[in-house]
Structure 1
């Protein structure tokens, strides 16, 4: 049985128990969200001892070398002394809520104003921390390219009973502050090959990063095909239809296909019916984890290189 030491306090880890689980069980305040090794909110640094290699694998080599690891998927193999990361590692800024707009019955657009330089790519995700004593954190994708004004656009689904989503969509006042950490993720538009065909498939608010990627690509004069398939259970969830339709009308290389599963038209099925051969395509998959996993496999089997498939499964739905 291993010991996990955090801020001078040592705790026994149960067999097979992740570092995060141990610390939370003992009442330690460790940021976390998805608990699946995706959002990286639970990043810790090993000061003494070696974290499991599997808990470092999703991180950049530079972070691995400094002992950083994802505590939610780290089952200690020996005693560990850990600490919260320096915020400089993942980036941090304070932002204010500029505006909030309802895009659909459950979906809101939040425009934030960063108070200092906060470089990012549209399609990456950031972690939001509210200015309450609980320091609750949740991760959201960035839905628009950077602006000269330093604004950041998020799309948030307001989930009944959701601590963070309810606060963001109903309680946070315009002008109020919140903390942002990041950005993270490698699902964004890549310059250098403007003729490359791009296939984008998303469900729900998985549209947010894809809309940002499309805007960025068009801003940078991408001339290759842009095929966007957005799926929702019901038509109410197909937000931004007017905006995306207008973009498609003015950019002949953009095709936008809204899909609803209640009518039997799933976004991934529609995409692969339209594009049966994905050889040479760069593929972006965002939203429901099951869809992302299935579509990733289908895209690969139809010819796309794994290195050209970018995934952003929404393991934590922003509650």
Structure 2
């Protein structure tokens, strides 16, 4: 049986055991969210030996050369020594600039990075509150905002959301890995119709993408659709309406589940050149995507980012 070592601890592991499970079940806490290789919260560094990796494409060549792997996607097949991500040593320092409620269930968290961080609107960043980590999409715009903004869905209790509720201005927080994500604005889209369709806090990264499109003076029609649990949860209604009032090519729509079937039926593409960016929980993304395909949107013109709930 292979031996797994972390720090001064060592134990035997059945060959083929998932690395994330082998660590967490033996008292080495490694955070995770999606278990699909998307969130990157379970990043570990292999110091000696290598696991079998089912998602070698999930990390950059440089990260892999340094031994970093996503524990959820790896199986222990030989003796392995692992360094787990230490937010105090490996993370970037930041502090809370603001924490306020945009709706009864959406907490807006604004952070100030104590070292410069280069990012694009719509990217993901792993946040560490103590020993609890979760990946969140950036809702801020690097060229305009002096803070990093995140929209947290706190409808259900969870370790990170519970910790975030207690944060105060000036509290320290650590930043983990910054990664791509499917949602970003491409300047080559300048004249094409652009649909931004979000469910819940999936609106956060799309709000950043929208502002980037407007900053680059996008000339095509832009349609923003936000699906929320009820009218109180259209948490960016006012800023979106203000943007629409000043931009003749921008329209915004606010849907609830009761209105969804009829609203979907009315969706019509005005152009085969339309691009659609979709973000939210898996069920909502699937509903939006299926309707867009039925409306004639080519599959390569839809970009989707799925939020998996694990507060």
Q: Does 1:313 align with 2:306?
A: yes
1:180 to 175, 183, 206: 175
Structure 2: how far apart are the matches of 1:235 and 1:125? 27
Which stretch of structure 1 is more off in the superposition, 114-123 or 51-60? Answer: 51-60
Count of residue pairs the alignment pairs up:
307
Answer whether contact 1:126 1:140 (CA < 8 A) is retained. Answer: yes
Q: 1:110 to 1:57 in 2, by over 3 A?
A: same
- How far did 1:108 drift? 1.9
Counterpart of 1:26 in structure 2 is 26
Q: Does 1:107 align with 2:98?
A: no
Answer whether contact 1:143 1:209 (CA < 8 A) is retained. Answer: yes
- How far did 1:15 drift? 6.1
Counterpart of 1:44 in structure 2 is 44
In structure 2, stretches of 5+ residues that fail to align are none
Answer whether contact 2:40 2:135 (CA < 8 A) is retained. Answer: no
Q: 1:45 to 1:165 in 2, by over 3 A?
A: same
- How far did 1:85 drift? 5.6
SS of the residue corresponding to residue 57 of structure 1 reads: helix
Query: TM-score, normalised on structure 1?
Result: 0.84
Structure 1: how far apart are the matches of 2:288 and 2:46? 36
Answer whether contact 2:206 2:279 (CA < 8 A) is retained. Answer: yes
Structure 1: how far apart are the matches of 2:260 and 2:286? 18
Counterpart of 1:284 in structure 2 is 277
- How far did 1:14 drift? 4.2
In structure 1, stretches of 5+ residues that fail to align are none
Give the alignment's Cα RMSD to 1 decimal. 2.8
- How far did 1:181 drift? 1.9
Counterpart of 2:73 in structure 1 is 73
Structure 1: how far apart are the matches of 2:5 and 2:274? 47
Structure 1: how far apart are the matches of 2:293 and 2:10? 46
Counterpart of 1:219 in structure 2 is 215
Counterpart of 2:12 in structure 1 is 12
Structure 2: how far apart are the matches of 1:211 and 1:54? 33
Q: 1:166 to 1:225 in 2, by over 3 A?
A: same
